[in-house]
Amino acid sequence: MAKTDSKAAATPAGDARPEARVARGFRDIEAAELRQLESMIAKIRDVYERYGFEPLETPVFEYTDALGKFLPDQDRPNAGVFSLTDEDDQWMSLRYDLTAPLARYVAQNYDRLPKPYRRYATGSVYRNEKPGPGRFRQFTQFDADTVGTDNVAADAEMCMLAADTLEALGIKRGDYVVKVNSRKVLDGLMETIGVDLAAPAGNEMRLTVLRAIDKVDRLGLSGVEHLLGAGRKDESGAFTKGAGLAPGQIDAVMAYLGAKRDDRDATVAAMTAAVQSSANGQQGMAELASMAALLQAAGYGPDQVAIDPTVVRGLEYYTGPVFEAELTFEVKDEHGHPVRFGSVGGGGRYDDLVARFTGQKVPATGFSIGVSRLAAALKLLNKETAKSTLGPVVVLVMDKGELPRYQAMAQRLRAAGIRAEMYLGTAGMKPQMKYADKRGSAVVVIQGSNERENGEVVLKDLIAGEKAAAAIKENAEWKASRPAQHTVKEADLVTEVRKLLAQYER
């Protein structure tokens, strides 16, 4: 007879319990971090509103064909996006960014929108990509876009908006830079070195060269030079095949990459010389020169917004100026290792995205902040913390027959704008104090029968009490002194609680 597992036999299959676990690539976000994010988003929103942008919220799901280039050509379109079918067997996907939904919205409502249309949006976006340390499948972005104008002043304004936003978040000048380049200039560089962009092989060469240029910050000019040629071997011994450019082509690209100067006008002049044989490149440089003049007139120096030939940006739909907001300071992580965050936002001009729906060119430009990534950087820099990390004032329940009285106290505090709660459990005083401590409360309100008869309450300052407790060694001394605890008139409850909280609120 076969041997049976008595434990398995005693547990019906339908009673199997699921494992409590978070989905891979996702995470729970708790109160302190949520308050930090809310504080950041409020500051970003304030800057965007001052620039005249209007809020818009689009669904987290879009029909999959609306997401454009992110879709693979296969039966299940789930590479890069999370997809499912609805009751009509139509594919829907969680939004990959906030720009594709905007393009759909503009195409759907174009006739009734003001032109240009200026909108901002914030929310979670989802990417079906391999997660890693600090890399999640759900994160928050905050975008601003101007749709319906090809005026280069709109691109310059995005750079100003980026700089103002970073400074509003407490990042001082010198700790960030908004770097600007143009896809037209990069395409002009390809034409200058003889790459045929109309041919499939030429487009593949273009992408390989742009990927190499995009690694300047990580590999330096020497590393990029190797990637433009035969390739390079990294520290682990792994070899990356290069673009295979001829020596003269490599020299032309390296001359272009070396065009960066401290002065914007000097950078523009050097970059212009590097792409002077390309009409596309010259047009792009004329736009960058106009942006530099607008930035200068508005008071934004090269330490805030810099023209930089190495900026590429990853998305292929950019058609003109591209920009990247980069943090330049270095901090140490919790293990003492140096960390440089680099890019925390970016964007550019995308004049062809709305045309996917309408068939008509609708010029647009936008900037997106990676809120989650920027929050991590600000946490290390200690520039952004929650407005208040204090828990609510807790009114202890000393006599269950007096619940209405305790609830009324909590309500008085709430009506005065103070976070407060009555203890809703059934435990005694000691567990109630432990509960308040776990909630991060600064103050508890205590009223026993003696205090009630005298029209008084006892306020216990838990923060000061903890400090005092550390200095008291004898239990008898503790009982005699009852540190950080004092009695006040019940009528003065709100006033006295405010005084205590004012010591700790920021």
Look at strands 83-85 and 91-94 and give their pairing: antiparallel
Q: Are residues 340 and 451 in the same domain?
A: no
User: Is pLDDT at 398 greater than 90 in this prediction?
Assistant: yes
Domain final position from 352, 381, 410? 381
Q: Are residues 39 and 166 in the same domain?
A: yes
User: Is pLDDT at 3 greater than 70 in this prediction?
Assistant: no
pLDDT band of residue 383 (cuts 50, 70, 90) is low
Q: Give me the number of domains the chain comprises.
A: 2
Q: Are residues 425 and 489 in the same domain?
A: yes
pLDDT of residue 80: 81
Domain final position from 381, 401, 436? 381
The string of pLDDT tens digits covering residues 142-191 is 999 999 999 999 999 999 999 999 999 999 999 999 999 999 999 999 99
Give me the phi and psi of 472, to 5 degrees please.
-100, 120
The string of pLDDT tens digits covering residues 38-86 is 999 999 999 999 999 999 999 999 998 888 654 444 444 556 889 899 9
- The CATH number covering residue 417 comes to 3.40.50.800
Specify if 44 maps to a domain.
yes
pLDDT of residue 53: 97
Say which amino acid occupies 205.
Answer: M
pLDDT band of residue 233 (cuts 50, 70, 90) is confident
Distance of alpha carbon 407 from alpha carbon 320, whole angstroms: 61
The string of pLDDT tens digits covering residues 237-291 is 888 899 999 999 999 999 999 999 989 999 999 999 999 999 999 999 999 999 9
pLDDT of residue 330: 76
Distance of alpha carbon 340 from alpha carbon 305, whole angstroms: 19
Specify if 36 maps to a domain.
yes
- Give, rounded to a whole angstrom, the gap between the first and last alpha carbons of the chain: 73
Q: Are residues 312 and 375 in the same domain?
A: yes
Specify if 86 maps to a domain.
no
User: Which of residues 342 and 115 earns the better pLDDT score?
Assistant: 115
pLDDT of residue 32: 85
User: Which of residues 342 and 227 earns the better pLDDT score?
Assistant: 227
Q: Is 483 helix (H, G, I), strand (E, B) or coil?
A: coil
pLDDT of residue 78: 57
Specify if 5 maps to a domain.
no
User: Is pLDDT at 13 greater than 90 in this prediction?
Assistant: no
Nearest to 380 by CA among 426, 344, 423, 434: 344
Helices (H) then strands (E): counts for the chain? 18, 20
Distance of alpha carbon 102 from alpha carbon 94, whole angstroms: 14
SS in 3 state form for 166-215?
HHHCCCCCCCEEEEEEEHHHHHHHHHHCCCCCCCHHHHHHHHHHHHHHCC
Specify if 311 maps to a domain.
yes
pLDDT of residue 467: 66
Site of tokens 């709100």: 494
Specify if 42 maps to a domain.
yes
pLDDT of residue 268: 96
Specify if 282 maps to a domain.
yes
The string of pLDDT tens digits covering residues 114-140 is 999 999 999 999 998 888 777 899 999
Distance of alpha carbon 249 from alpha carbon 239, whole angstroms: 22
Instruction: Report yes or no: 32 and 389 within 8 Å, Cβ to Cβ.
Output: yes
Instruction: Report yes or no: 179 and 311 within 8 Å, Cβ to Cβ.
Output: yes
Q: What is the DSSP letter of 128?
A: B
Q: Are residues 47 and 184 in the same domain?
A: yes
Distance of alpha carbon 8 from alpha carbon 491, whole angstroms: 63
What are the residues whose beta carbons fall under 8 Å from the beta carbon of 5, sequence distance 6 or more? none
pLDDT band of residue 372 (cuts 50, 70, 90) is confident
Q: Are residues 410 and 338 in the same domain?
A: no
Neighbour-count burial of 253, counting CB atoms closer than 10 A to its CB (0-12 exposed, 13-18 middle, 19+ buried): buried
Q: Are residues 328 and 453 in the same domain?
A: no
pLDDT of residue 54: 97
Specify if 23 maps to a domain.
no
Q: Are residues 346 and 367 in the same domain?
A: yes
Lookup: tokens for 10: 């005693």
Q: Are residues 261 and 158 in the same domain?
A: yes
Q: Are residues 444 and 308 in the same domain?
A: no
Distance of alpha carbon 407 from alpha carbon 424, whole angstroms: 10
The domain of 459 spans 393-502
Average predicted confidence (pLDDT) for the chain: 88
User: Is pLDDT at 377 greater than 60 in this prediction?
Assistant: yes
User: Is pLDDT at 476 greater than 70 in this prediction?
Assistant: no
Q: Are residues 452 and 339 in the same domain?
A: no
Distance of alpha carbon 232 from alpha carbon 254, whole angstroms: 16
Share of residues in the chain with pLDDT > 70 (%)? 89
Q: Is the pTM of this model over 0.85?
A: no
Query: How confident is the model over 25-29, as a mean pLDDT?
Result: 92
Q: Are residues 377 and 412 in the same domain?
A: no
User: Is pLDDT at 10 greater than 70 in this prediction?
Assistant: no
Site of tokens 């000393």: 398
Domain final position from 334, 356, 381? 381
